[in-house]
Amino acid sequence: MTLRDIVEILDAKVLVGEDHLHRSVKTAFSADLMSDVLAFAKSGSLIITGLTTLQVVRTASILDAIGLVIVRGKIPSKETLDLAGDLDIPIMSTRYILFETSGRLYANGIVGCVEKIGGMNCGK
Amino acid sequence: MTDYSYENTFTVEGGDFESAGKTSIEIKKVLKKLAITNETLRRAAIAVYEAELNIISYAKKGAIDLAVSDDKILISVADQGPGIEDIELAMQEGYSTATDQIREMGFGAGMGLHNIKSCADTLDISSEVNKGTHLSIVINRRGSGNDESGLSD
């Protein structure tokens, strides 16, 4: 599945990174807690969150995330969007809530970075 | 004595929440240029990022010393700040002294030191209350090609 398919499934608006929608996605991680994203998200995953701070974009960049989906219809500040442009992180905004967003993607074949916690620590 | 082919110091200002993560992204770029990839890069980047967030969140200022040799990455983080009274307690998942400002950024859930520890091959922490904290993080470089999921373009 590509980011373009994700945009369609989530009826999302592409706010940054129209050029990167051909990127393919297999895994995702949903959280509003960036420390958990850092602990459990795999590189190359889609990050789904309701936070819109600069640190969400920087967290995505640190992890080489494939893109960000912002849920609950939130639109990040221009500063956040500009940073995402600089760091090549596509941002899509959907009006679906976090639960619906995750469920719809899962139903379409996207799986979580980890199923359950335990035994995985930072890829060591 | 380890022979480091790259050594540099990055300074971080405490309380500069807007910039939180900037230095880590810069350090990640440096590591990439040094041909550090995949899981090793990911672990180093996460450890540096959590350490930078700790300086910004709690200290007056701090410095991240980065040293890279053929077989390891040494990240030394020293800050001037409140220090940690009970290191064992601070290492526990979920233990946090974070302020609202830290939580608004999406951090402060008591995962920082724990995340650093899971990314490091060795982590040494020493701290003096009202002076500061020192972290010594070692990440061993492994052969590349063990990463199943890089960027696809």
Per-residue pLDDT of chain B (153 residues; tens, 9 = 90+): 789 999 999 999 999 999 999 999 999 999 999 999 889 999 999 999 999 999 999 999 999 999 999 999 999 999 999 999 999 999 998 899 999 999 989 999 888 999 999 999 999 999 999 999 999 999 999 754 344 333 333
Cα atoms in the 13 Å half-sphere on the side-chain side of A32:
10
Give pTM, 2 decimals.
0.90
ipTM: 0.88
Mark yes or no for CB contact A55/B105 under 8 Å.
yes
Q: Is residue B123 part of a domain?
A: yes
CB B119: neighbour CB atoms within 10 A? 28
Q: Which of B43, B111, B119 sits opposite A35 (nearest CB)?
A: B111
How far is Cα B40 from Cα B53, in angstroms, rounded to an integer? 20
Which residues form the domain of B136? 6-140
Residue of chain A minimizing CA distance to B110: A35
| Assigned domain for B106 exists | yes
Asked if CATH classification 3.40.50.720 holds for the domain at A3-112, the reply, yes or no, is no
- Cβ count near B54 (within 10 Å): 25
Position B148 in a domain: no
Q: How many domains does chain B have?
A: 1
Interstrand relation of A91-93 and B122-128 (parallel, antiparallel or unpaired): unpaired
CA distance A68 to B17: 21
Q: Is B67 inside any structural domain?
A: yes
Q: Of chain A residues 51-70, which have a CB less than 8 A from chain B?
A: 51, 53-56, 58-59, 61-64, 66
| Cβ–Cβ gap A59/B21 under 8 Å | yes
Q: Is residue B151 part of a domain?
A: no
Answer yes or no: is B121 within a domain: yes
The CATH number assigned to the domain holding B110 equals 3.30.565.10
Q: Is residue B149 part of a domain?
A: no
CA distance linking residue B98 with residue B133, whole number of Å: 16
Which residue ranges make up each domain of chain A?
Answer: 3-112
Residues recorded for chain A: 124
Q: Do the Cβ atoms of B101 and B85 come closer than 8 Å?
A: no
Token readout for A102 is 């995750």
Nearest to B106 among A20, A42, A53 (CB): A53
